[in-house]
Amino acid sequence: MSKIRVGLSGGFGSFSEEAALQYLAKSKISDYQLDYLIDMENVLKKLNENIIDIGVFPFFNNNSGMVKQAFAAMGKYSFEVIDSFSLNINQCLMAKELLDMNQVATIYSFEPALKQCHNFIFNHFSKATIIDWGDMADAARAMSLNKFSANAAIIGSKRSAQIFKLKVLCENIQDHQNNLTEFVVVRSNIANI
C-alpha cells in the first residue's frame, strides 16, 4: 500500500494536526504524509481532486458551537465520514517574548478559539485589538517570523508555542475546562483506503 496523504485544516502545530496524529495512531497507519491545508474548504477541495486520501477537520465545539467554516465547506462537496472523535482543547496565550498582560495590545487567533476564551479576553484585554487570523498555528508561525508587533499575542496550542519557540504567557485560558472539539475524518465517496 502506498503512503496515505492526510489533509488537515490547520498548520504545523495545530489542533487539527494533533487530531490527525491521534487518528493515525489509533488506526495503526504509519506510512503517511501530512498536508497542512489550513482550512476546511481546502481539505474537501483536495479530497475531491484526489490529491489527498483522507481529510481531518473540526466541526463542533461544546462551548463555541459549530465551526461555521466546516459546515460551509461540507455543503459544497461530497465525501464519506469514516471516523469522528473529540479532543479536549486547552488554549494558551503566547507571545514572541515574555510580556505582562497589560503590555498585550493585539491578540491573533481563529474565531472558534476566540469564542472559547471570550471571558478571559474580556476580563484581561478589554482594550486589545482582536484579530481572526484564520488559523492559530499559522498565526504562531507568522509571529515566529516577526510578522506581528512586539506587543502582540496568539491564542493557540501549547505545541505550536513549542514548535515556533514562543513564550507561553498563560495556559488553559478557555472559559470552560471541559472544552471538547469534535473532529471528523473523511474520504472521497469513491476512495478505498
Give yes or no for residue 13 having a pLDDT over 60: yes
Over the chain, what is the mean pLDDT?
Answer: 93
Q: Buried b vs exposed e over 107-125: b needs ≥16 C-beta within 10 Å?
A: bbbbebbbbbbeebbeebb
Cβ–Cβ under 8 Å, residues 4 and 51: no
Domains with residue ranges and CATH for the chain: 4-89+179-187 (3.40.190.10), 92-170 (3.40.190.10)
Q: What number is the average pLDDT over the span 120-148?
A: 94
Strands (E), the chain: 4-8, 32-36, 54-61, 65-66, 80-88, 92-95, 106-109, 129-132, 152-156, 167-170, 180-187
pLDDT 10s digits, 27-85? 999 999 999 998 999 999 999 999 999 999 999 999 888 988 888 899 999 999 999 99
pLDDT of residue 147: 97
The grid coordinates of residue 9 equal: 485544516
Distance in angstroms between the alpha carbons of the first and the last residue of the chain? 9
pTM comes to: 0.87
Whether pLDDT at 123 is above 70: yes
Contact (CB, 8 A) for 183 and 86: yes
Residue 169 has pLDDT above 60, yes or no: yes
Cβ within 8 Å of residue 71, ≥6 positions away:
59
What pLDDT, on a 0 to 100 scale, did the predictor assign at position 192?
A: 46
**% of the chain at pLDDT higher than 90:** 84
All cell numbers assigned to 109:
487567533
Q: Please, which residues bridge with residue 83 across strands?
A: 185
Q: Would you state the pLDDT for residue 71?
A: 87
Q: Taking a C-beta distance cutoff of 8 angstroms, is the pair 140, 163 a contact? A: yes
Mean pLDDT over 82-110 rounds to 95
- Tell me the Ramachandran region of residue 11: left when phi exceeds 0, alpha when psi lies from -120 to 50, beta otherwise: beta
